[in-house]
Chain A
Amino acid sequence: GENVEQHPSTLSVQEGDSAVIKCTYSDSASNYFPWYKQELGKRPQLIIDIRSNVGEKKDQRIAVTLNKTAKHFSLHITETQPEDSAVYFCVVGSYDKVIFGPGTSLSVIP
Chain B
Amino acid sequence: DAGVIQSPRHEVTEMGQEVTLRCKPISGHDYLFWYRQTMMRGLELLIYFNNNVPIDDSGMPEDRFSAKMPNASFSTLKIQPSEPRDSAVYFCASSGTSDYNEQFFGPGTRLTVL
Contact = CB atoms under 8 A, between A and B. Distances in A.
A44 B106 CA distance: 9
Provide the main secondary structure of the chain A interface.
strand
Interface in B88-114: 91, 99-100, 102-103, 105-108
Contact of B43 (A44, A45, A96): A44
A103 B45 contact: no
B56 interface: yes
A100 B45 contact: yes
Contacts of A51: 100
Contact of A96 (B56, B103, B107): B56
B106 A43 contact: yes
Contacts of B106: 43
Interface residues of B, number: 16
Interface in A81-108: 89, 93-100, 102-103
Given A45-B105, A100-B45, A32 B91 contact: no
B61 interface: no
Given A89-B43, A99-B45, A103-B42, A43 B100 contact: no
Contacts, number: 40
> Which of B33, B56, B103, B106 is most buried by chain A, counting CB atoms within 10 A of its CB?
B103
Contacts of B102: 34, 46, 49
B49 to A, nearest CB: 13
B45 A43 contact: no
B7 to A, nearest CB: 15
A56 B33 CA distance: 28
B91 A44 contact: yes
Contacts of B33: 98
Contacts of B42: 100, 102-103
Interface of A: 32, 34, 36, 43-46, 49, 51, 89, 93-100, 102-103
